[in-house]
Structure 1
C-alpha cells in the first residue's frame, strides 16, 4: 500500500470512530421511552367509582370493587351466581337444588348455619364484602367490623307488593358494585317479563288460592300479609282467606279449615322436606281426606310447590322464576 493510501485509510478510520462516539453520547443523553403502564390493584381502585348503599341497618360505602364476597343467605348466593361473581364463603346447611354446584366446592368457606353464621369462619374467608338479610341482622355490627356489610331489605314476614321492587333494586345495586350493570338490567327486564306473563293469566281469573306450609303433619296458611304476600299482591293471585296478619311460619290452620275455605287452588310448601332433607309431599303421600274434598283437589289444582325455592329463597331472580312457574301450574293442572 502506498503512503497516500495509508494516510487516507487512517483518516477514514478516525472519522468513523469519532462519528460512532458522537452517536453513543447522543444515545446516552436522549430521554428513555417510558414503559407501558402496568395495570395494578392500585390503578384499578383509583378507576373505581365508590358506591354508597343505604339499607335498613345503616349506610355502607364500597370503596373498591369487592374481590372476596361472603353471602350469608341463599338469595344472595343466587344474585352472585346470576352476575357471575365468585363466592368466597356461604352457609352450606340448606343449599337449594338450583345452586347445588356450590355445595362441594372446597375453595368456598362454609360459614355455618343460615340463621346462625359462624363469625370465626366468616373472618377466615377474608371477605371484603358481606351480604346478609334479616335472618342475620342481629350480627350486623360484628360482621361490619370484619368487612363492609350490606343488608338485603326483603321482608320475610310481610312481603306484599314491594317484594319484587326490593329484589330488582338490590340486584341493580349489586350490578353497580361489581360493575355488572348491563347484566343486572337484563335480569331485571327478564323478571319483569315473567311477572307480566303470570299477571296476564291471573288478572281475570275468578279462582281463589290458599298457600299452606306443611310442617310435620301440621299446616299453616299464608295470606296477603305474610312472607308470601307477593303471590297475591304482585302476581295477582286471589286469596281464599282474609288478609289477616301472619308470622314467619304462617297462621296455624286445621284440615277442617282448609275444607271450609274450599279454595280453587292450593299451593303446598313442604317445610319438613327442606328442614329434614326428606322427599317432598306429593299427591300419593298426602293422605288427608278433608283436603281431598276441596275443589282444588277434585279439579287437579293442588300444586306441590318447589319447597327449596319457596322456603329457602323466594327473594331472588331464579327462585322467583320457579315460584312463577308453580303459580301458573295451579291454573293449568287437570284432574
Structure 2
C-alpha cells in the first residue's frame, strides 16, 4: 500500500471519529416521562391540595407562582416559609415585615380592611389569602383566583387559637412544597407556648389586657380577641367581666384600679393608628393606674402593639406576644 493511500485512509478515519464524537456531545441523556413533563412545565410535579375553610372549599391544582396576601398575618406566614409575595395591602405593615413596604415587585393593594380589588386583579394572582377582615369580598376574589380563608377568630380566641395558626401553617406548607420547614416552624411555636405555660403554671398573679385609644381604655377577657392569652398561655384574668368581642369592653381608670391586677398588658392602639412611638410609664400619667399592684411592682408591660393589634395570629407575631406575656412574670 502506497504512502499516499495510507495517509488518505488515516485522514478519513480521523474525520469519522471526530463526527461521532461531536454527535455524542450533542445528544441529551434519556429523561423519564416525569422529568420531561417537569422540564416542559417549568415546575416540580404538583399534587393538588384541597382546603376546606369557613367560606367553602378551595382546590389548588397547580403550584402557585403569584400569591396575594390581603392580611398581615398571611404575609407573615409566607415570609416564614420563604414564599414570594406578589401583592399585599401596605397601609399598616408591622415592623417585623417592614422589608415588604418598598420591596420591588410587591404590589400595594390598598387597605387591609378594604383592599383595592382592581389592583388585586392587575396583580394577576394564582392564589389569594384572606381572613375574616376581607371575607365579604370572597366571591369576587374567588373569580380571580383560588382563594383561601384563614379561619382565625379575631373576636374570640379563647379556644383553638394556637391550633388554627398551626394548622394554617402546615396547610400552606403542603401547598408550597415546604412541609418540612412548616413542620419545623410549628414545633418552634409549640415550644414557645410550652415555655409560657411553664412560667405561668401555679403562679398567683392576675392580669388585665387593656387597649389604649387616645386616653380611653378597653379591657379584654377570656372570651375576646386576646382570650388565648388566658386559655392557651395559662394567664389568670383579673377582670370580673367576660369582655367579648374584637374591640373589648370600654372600662374606666376606676375599674382598673378596683380590679387591682398584678400585671397589666397595655396595647397602644393610638401608637399604631397614628404611627408614633408606643407609650411608656412616663407618658402614662394616670394616678389611678399608679395605685395598682402592677404599677407599684413594675409590671405594667407596654407590649409590641403592632404584633398584638395589627397581627397576633401568625408565627412571628405570636412569638412576640408570648415574649411580652412572659415579661409580666419576670417583674
Aligned length: 318
Give the TM-score of the pair, scaled to structure 1. 0.89
CA–CA separation in structure 2 for the residues paired with 1:293 and 1:257: 12
> Separation in 1 of the partners of 2:53 and 2:158?
18
Q: CA deviation at 1:268?
A: 0.2
Are the equivalent residues in 1 in contact too, given 2:223–2:245 (CA < 8 A)?
Answer: no
Larger Rg: 1
Pick closer, same or farther for the CA change 1:256–1:44 going to 2, 3 Å: same
Residue-by-residue CA offset, 1:193-229 (whole Å, 9 max, x unaligned): 1110110000110000000000111100000000100
Does 1:68 find its partner at 2:45? no
Gaps of 5+ in 1: none
Gap change, CA 1:264 and 1:42, over 3 Å in 2: same
Distance of 1:148 and 1:189 partners within structure 2 = 28
Distance (whole Å) between structure 1 residues aligned to residue 302 and residue 320 of structure 2: 12
Partner of 1:151: 149
Question: Is the Cα contact below 8 Å between 1:175 and 1:184 reproduced in 2?
Answer: yes
Q: Kindly report the root-mean-square deviation, in angstroms, between the aligned alpha carbons of the 2 structures.
A: 2.3
| 1:44 corresponds to 2:43 | yes
**Contact 1:225–1:243 (8 Å) recurs in 2:** no
- How much has 1:161 moved relative to structure 2? 2.8
Q: What residue is the counterpart of 2:140 in the other structure? A: 142
Provide Cα deviations, 1:275-307, integer angstroms capped at 9, x if missing partner: 111211100000110011001000111000100
Whole-Å separation in 2 of the counterparts to 1:242 and 1:112 = 40
Q: 1: CA distance between counterparts of 2:274 and 2:140?
A: 30
Where in structure 2 are the equivalents of 1:206-221 lying within 5 Å? Answer: 206-221=204-219
Rounded Cα–Cα distance in structure 2 between residues aligned with 1:70 and 1:219: 35
Paired with 2:71 and 2:141, the residues of 1 have a C-alpha distance of 14
Alignment of 1:118 onto 2:116: yes
2:85 corresponding residue in structure 1 = 87
Query: Quick check: 1:219–1:252 contact (8 Å CA) kept in 2?
Result: yes
Task: Give the 3 Å change call, closer, same or farther, for CA 118–9 of structure 1 in structure 2.
Answer: closer
1:101 is aligned to 99
CA distance in 2, matches of 1:249, 1:44: 45
**1:257 aligned to 249, 255, 264, which one?**
255
Partner of 1:239: 237
Q: Deviations over 1:235-270 (max 9, x none)?
A: 000011135142211000000000010000000000
Give the structure 1 partner of residue 199 of structure 2.
201
- Cα displacement (A) at 1:42: 2.3
- Secondary structure at the aligned position of 2:330 is classed as coil
Match of 1:170 among 150, 160, 168: 168
Q: Once the two structures are superposed, what CA deviation does each residue of 1:103-161 show, in whole Å capped at 9, x if it has no partner?
A: 11131100000000000111111110000000000000001111110000000000113
Query: Unmatched 5+ residue regions in structure 2?
Result: 21-25
Q: In structure 1, what is the Cα distance between the partners aligned to 2:213 and 2:40?
A: 51
